[in-house]
Chains A and B, each alone.
Chain A
Amino acid sequence: AQSVAQPEDQVNVAEGNPLTVKCTYSVSGNPYLFWYVQYPNRGLQFLLKYITGDNLVKGSYGFEAEFNKSQTSFHLKKPSALVSDSALYFCAVRDIMAGNEKLTFGTGTRLTIIP
């Protein structure tokens, strides 16, 4: 079975500082990994994904994430946080071996950027 852990319910960062939102995963085979962002009363917006290749993935709005196979992690990062980055962030994994498109989500991390 596949699973995702986001160990931090809440992350607070001062505007202009770098931010990191943590994610670790567990799958039986090779993972497809995704990050999504959710604003209040809205659906999820896709930020970036890791499928294969370069471990550092760049996505929307200046976000990036680093795939670390040995640590089974896929942390989301941004060099300089904006107030508008405040939102709920979800990490998700799809198990390639499962043969379906089902995504398993982490519990989410609420990111608050402090002006």
Chain B
Amino acid sequence: GAVVSQHPSWVICKSGTSVKIECRSLDFQATTMFWYRQFPKQSLMLMATSNEGSKATYEQGVEKDKFLINHASLTLSTLTVTSAHPEDSSFYICSASGTGGVSPLHFGNGTRLTVT
């Protein structure tokens, strides 16, 4: 089946630094990837839709200058949390769909970000 790899699985950083999270589709090409954020005991909140070769589409309330998304190839999207603060601590999950439409999204295993 389709595999999405997300790296790192966890990261601890100091306040004010930037952190990059990678999301790769290993055995399929993904023109679209999605980035979600999940707070403890809550559902997934869609942050942005990452489009290969073009700008990401951000959901309302998500700061595009803080959460930089790059989708430079059909198999890689990156999320960079810039100037991280403790309130950015969360579980970030990426997903991709190989053929769209009726295909389910396949999810990475998530990245636990802790900002100290």
The reply on B100 being an interface residue by CB < 8 A is yes
Q: Given A101-B32, A102-B49, A107-B43, is A42 in contact with B109 using a C-beta cutoff of 8 Å?
A: yes
Most buried by A among B44, B100, B105, B108: B44
Say yes or no: A101 contacts B97, CB within 8 Å.
Answer: yes
B44 contacts across to A, CB distance below 8 A: 44, 90, 105
Chain B, residues 79-97, CB within 8 Å of chain A (1/0): the string is: 0000000000001010101
How far is it, in angstroms, between the C-alpha of A45 and the C-alpha of B93 when the chains are bound? 12
The reply on B6 being an interface residue by CB < 8 A is yes
Task: Name the distance in Å between A65's Cβ and chain B's nearest Cβ.
Answer: 13
How far is it, in angstroms, between the C-alpha of A102 and the C-alpha of B73 when the chains are bound? 20
Q: What's the interface size class on B, roughly?
A: 20 to 34
Which residues 1-59 of A have a CB within 8 angstroms of B? Answer: 32, 34, 36, 41-46, 49, 51
* Closest chain A residue, CB of each to CB of B110: A43
* Closest chain B residue, CB of each to CB of A92: B105
The reply on B67 being an interface residue by CB < 8 A is no
Say yes or no: B107 contacts A44, CB within 8 Å.
Answer: yes
Which 4 A-B pairs rank lowest in CB-CB distance, beginning with the nearest? Answer: A43-B107, A44-B107, A46-B104, A43-B109
Which residues 39-64 of B have a CB within 8 angstroms of A? Answer: 42-44, 46, 49
B4 contacts across to A, CB distance below 8 A: 43
Task: Name the distance in Å between A103's Cβ and chain B's nearest Cβ.
Answer: 6
* Closest chain B residue, CB of each to CB of A32: B102
Sample (30) of A-B pairs whose CB atoms are under 8 Å apart: A36-B107, A41-B91, A41-B112, A42-B110, A43-B4, A43-B6, A43-B95, A43-B107, A43-B108, A43-B109, A44-B44, A44-B93, A44-B95, A45-B107, A46-B106, A46-B107, A49-B102, A49-B104, A90-B43, A101-B32, A101-B103, A101-B105, A102-B34, A102-B46, A103-B34, A103-B95, A105-B44, A107-B42, A108-B42, A108-B43
